[in-house]
Amino acid sequence: MGYQGHFRVWRGSDEGGGLEDFTVEVNEGEVVLDVIHRLQATQTPDLAVRWNCKAGKCGSCSAEINGKPRLLCMTRMSVFAEDETVTVTPMRTFPVIRDLVTDVSYNYKKAREIPAFKPPAGVAPGEYRMQQVDVERSQEFRKCIECFLCNNTCHVIRDHEENKESFAGPRFLMRVAELEMHPLDEADRVQEAQSQHGLGLCNITKCCTEVCPEHIKITDNALIPMKERVADRRYDPIVWLGNKLFRNKS
């Protein structure tokens, strides 16, 4: 059942590094993370990898396998041929700390920049009433396990370090959409989505949707509807006139 698999794993730090070759046992039913753990236990005790639940629920073990952004714990070895070399590298968009572990603090910084849920005034805890069909839109986005693979794959920041300052990435633009679609949230984040969080930089290539391990339709259900809301607000002449005439009221 078991076989000797060929692995190439990126090893190094922020000062540089490279791919190292390993031959390692692979058994039936295993995932890539199992093999990385075997390397730790038998050949490279100081190989750094981030992981936690090992069931695709916590989003810790994000990396790139043969160039594709994936969770190490949800990538079965059976998808590779036995003689295929499996190359494991850290996420490319974030600075490497060591080996497969990257500095994902960009994401935590962006999370803080999105204004939080604003509870409805005058509605006491326990009195919230919402219909299932209305909560489902935001619930889809709340399935997000924050693996940050979408932000990692998004070319707006993957290929353009300079955009990081002004772009929240698909994960946090989706957070804006989630709050905007929350039936009881009272804040308005539509203008800021464009002006503060960089929604305009997204040109809907759907790369984020493709890599989402939770199969959230980030582009279709979060980003495009947000773009439509921004467009309605900006270019609808009646809304424009209303804003001009009544802006002192708001």
Q: In the complex, what is the shortest distance from the CB of residue 131 to another protein, in angstroms, rounded to a whole number?
A: 6
Which residue stretch of 16-24, 46-54, 85-93, 204-212 sits at the interface with another protein (rule: CB under 8 A)?
Answer: 46-54
**In this structure, are residues 86 and 5 in contact, taking their beta carbons and an 8 Å threshold?**
yes
Q: In the complex, what is the shortest distance from the CB of residue 108 to another protein, in angstroms, rounded to a whole number?
A: 7
What tokens does 115 get? 């204004």
Q: In the complex, what is the shortest distance from the CB of residue 30 to another protein, in angstroms, rounded to a whole number?
A: 5
User: Would you count residue 139 as binding another protein (CB under 8 A)?
Assistant: yes
Task: Give dist(CA 150, CA 212) in Å, integer.
Answer: 6
Task: Give dist(CA 133, CA 25) in Å, integer.
Answer: 48
List the end-to-end C-alpha distance of the chain, in Å, as a whole number: 69
Of 19 and 48, the one with the shorter C-beta distance to another protein is 48
Can you tell me whether residue 214 is helix, strand or coil? coil
**Per-residue binder mask for another protein (CB under 8 A), 181-210, x = binder:** -x--x-------------------------
| Continuous segment of H or E residues that includes residue 106 | helix 105-113
User: Would you count residue 160 as binding another protein (CB under 8 A)?
Assistant: no
User: Would you count residue 111 as binding another protein (CB under 8 A)?
Assistant: yes
Q: b/e string for 172-200 if b means 16 or more Cβ within 10 A?
A: bbbbbbbbbbbeebeeebbebbbeebbbe
- Binds another protein (CB under 8 A): choice among 97, 192, 196, 225: 97
- Binds another protein (CB under 8 A): choice among 53, 204, 231, 241: 53
- Binds another protein (CB under 8 A): choice among 16, 18, 67, 125: 125
Q: b/e string for 203-230 if b means 16 or more Cβ within 10 A?
A: eeeebbbebbbbebbbbebbbbebbebb
User: Would you count residue 58 as binding another protein (CB under 8 A)?
Assistant: yes
Parallel/antiparallel/unpaired status of strands 16-26 and 101-102 = unpaired
User: Would you count residue 59 as binding another protein (CB under 8 A)?
Assistant: yes
User: Would you count residue 52 as binding another protein (CB under 8 A)?
Assistant: yes
User: Would you count residue 119 as binding another protein (CB under 8 A)?
Assistant: yes
- Binds another protein (CB under 8 A): choice among 5, 7, 50, 202: 50
User: Would you count residue 29 as binding another protein (CB under 8 A)?
Assistant: yes
User: Would you count residue 135 as binding another protein (CB under 8 A)?
Assistant: yes
Q: Of the candidates 10, 12, 5, which has an alpha carbon nearest to the alpha carbon of residue 31?
A: 5
Measured between alpha carbons, how far is residue 189 from residues 152, 159, 200 in Å? 24, 27, 14
User: Would you count residue 68 as binding another protein (CB under 8 A)?
Assistant: no
Can you tell me whether residue 16 is helix, strand or coil? strand
Which parts of this chain interact with another protein (CB under 8 A)? 27-31, 34, 40-41, 45-60, 74, 76, 97-99, 101, 104, 108, 111-112, 115-117, 119, 125-126, 128-132, 135, 138-139, 142-143, 145-146, 179, 182, 185
